[in-house]
Structure 1
């Protein structure tokens, strides 16, 4: 527990460091804290804060900088954010046109990056939670069938099925009609469960076609559920806190390219309610030890389907960035729900 004076000085130090990017000395704290205390008193408080791991001294004669623990304390107990003004919200809403889901995801990623000047990440919607609007089969040639899956958001997935026997287009049309009449509005896992008993009653050749379609549908859903769109990662090259260490940058860009670990972090953010902030080592990823990741889940038709995030340095203006992440998640969800 910090006394009120220590809290004010720590808050001032974090704010000045975020603003200036330079170690904060006692004179600066005396000037900006509003406290009527001497420089010697401030130095004593700083020494105490350093002992408990909230600040550190990069050089013996310089001021102090906040640690990851200090940022966490600042975010949890000292930070006050204000929502974006209505004019800016309307401007952002106009940038998210609900005409194409893939374009929406890219637009949201660009908005996050443009407004924060960091990297904007949007995980694509989790398709296994969504239903199927339409299924069609087209004969491509002997033993080759094109499976066409229309998702509720209007996107189309195509898969080529290699079958053990040939089908006429009439048979394929019949199969598509059967699925559309009985199972539209279900996910592939639900279709499989409902078909479990009925497959035994279908003709063996039709049963094989249905099983192949379900397997391909699951694959399409899984692929779309394990990806994200990232914008503005090049902007991190110009962030002084990150660009001075090339090994750190290589690790960060490797993380973006490899995707799996960052997706797991986004998934962790998706499970929480509202904004979630990972500061430095809290992410559990070595490549993000000097970064903060601010995440927010987004919904479509009342159901959480994905997560978006901003990846930037720990020394970011949280008061400004958090509302941007929050409103972008809400606007993206609204736009997807209109599709």
Structure 2
């Protein structure tokens, strides 16, 4: 495969992709001839198309004389030929209005961002929840409940309050729980939750070896309280049913497998986790994701930030036949606006 196409081949590939994205139909030489900037003979266009097919940039469906882009063709287009579009005034206004700093809780901002991506792209919008290891424990309190249960009250970051009901299997007195919360607050306040949980597990093991009952009980309660977060929502998805509108995703088995991935979450989270250490917009086209069920899809993502640190990832999932020049700036601007909104809440 050549490292760089000549100007004529590149323009024809760009025209073919733009037409295919718009119409969803194989593109023939006659259509390209009408759209090309200078007059070319049909034989010349056919020769260039044959070269592009040999290089793996386009393919010919069995039912048509026209050609469609391949994953390799889309990748060349995105990396070398794409010119991002400006978002319209109405799109920019909608993003600014829905993600205005201080107008919503962090959870509501995540849902608003996911819904925005879905509505403005007409595809599926996904926002992962902020990474838990960025959450800092300020204070923890325990209160006794009936039936061997304990209410854990966590103050996280500056003012976020999280409540967890823990089924401990035995009753605790208020004085016991106060003693345990004091131990944790004195020793662990100001620590990030994920690293704190690891430390508590290690300290709990050491405490058990030393038969230190007070520290051991405190460790059990705190570890359970922090571990309960693992059941929290991992990402917010909106507009999954939009994918039904794309004929290339219309095969019922393919759609069933895709919706299972969206519902199961693990595979998609693994894909999005790859973007946590990357800066700017990342694009996975077709098989580049590494997940067979996404072979006919593209995923466009961007990290968003809280206090200058990557907190999570948002993006759009749709067919490989997506309008990349429009979707890329949409994802980037939504990430910027969500970061600004969450900063106001931190």
Q: TM-score, normalised by structure 2?
A: 0.88
- Conserved in 1, the CA contact under 8 Å of 2:203 and 2:219? no
| Alpha-carbon shift at residue 273 of structure 1 (Å) | 1.4
| Alpha-carbon shift at residue 85 of structure 1 (Å) | 5.5
**Residues in 1 aligned to 2:198 and 2:72: alpha-carbon distance in whole angstroms:** 48
Indicate whether 1:118 and 2:126 are aligned.
no
1:264-279 equivalent positions in 2, closer than 5 A: 264-279=270-285
Cα pair distance change 1:330/1:155, threshold 3 Å:
farther
Indicate whether 1:218 and 2:209 are aligned.
no
**Residues in 1 aligned to 2:150 and 2:211: alpha-carbon distance in whole angstroms:** 18
Which ranges in structure 1 are unaligned for 5 or more consecutive residues? none
What SS class does the counterpart of residue 271 from structure 1 fall into? coil
Query: Among 248, 263, 277, which residue is 2:254 paired with?
Result: 248
**Residues in 2 aligned to 1:61 and 1:115: alpha-carbon distance in whole angstroms:** 32
* Matched residues, number: 335
What SS class does the counterpart of residue 56 from structure 2 fall into? coil
**Which sits farther off after the overlay, 230-239 or 189-198?**
189-198
What SS class does the counterpart of residue 279 from structure 2 fall into? coil
- Conserved in 2, the CA contact under 8 Å of 1:138 and 1:172? yes
What SS class does the counterpart of residue 141 from structure 1 fall into? coil
1:161-310 equivalent positions in 2, closer than 5 A: 161-162=167-168, 166-188=171-193, 189-190=195-196, 193=199, 196=203, 204-224=212-232, 227-243=234-250, 245-310=251-316
**Which sits farther off after the overlay, 81-90 or 316-325?**
81-90
Indicate whether 1:15 and 2:18 are aligned.
yes
**Residues in 1 aligned to 2:270 and 2:64: alpha-carbon distance in whole angstroms:** 41
What SS class does the counterpart of residue 269 from structure 1 fall into? coil
What SS class does the counterpart of residue 77 from structure 2 fall into? helix
- Conserved in 2, the CA contact under 8 Å of 1:145 and 1:163? no
Partner of 2:324 in structure 1?
318
1:50-69 equivalent positions in 2, closer than 5 A: 50-59=53-62, 62-69=65-72
Which ranges in structure 2 are unaligned for 5 or more consecutive residues? none
1:28-107 equivalent positions in 2, closer than 5 A: 28-59=31-62, 62-84=65-87, 88-96=91-99, 98=102, 99-107=104-112
Root mean square deviation, CA, Å: 2.5
Query: Among 324, 330, 338, which residue is 2:336 paired with?
Result: 330
**Residues in 1 aligned to 2:189 and 2:64: alpha-carbon distance in whole angstroms:** 70
**Residues in 2 aligned to 1:182 and 1:211: alpha-carbon distance in whole angstroms:** 11
Could you give the per-residue CA deviations for residues 198-235 of structure 1, whole angstroms, max 9, x where no partner exists? Answer: 969x99443133211232133134334x7111100011
- Conserved in 1, the CA contact under 8 Å of 2:261 and 2:268? yes
Q: TM-score, normalised by structure 1?
A: 0.90
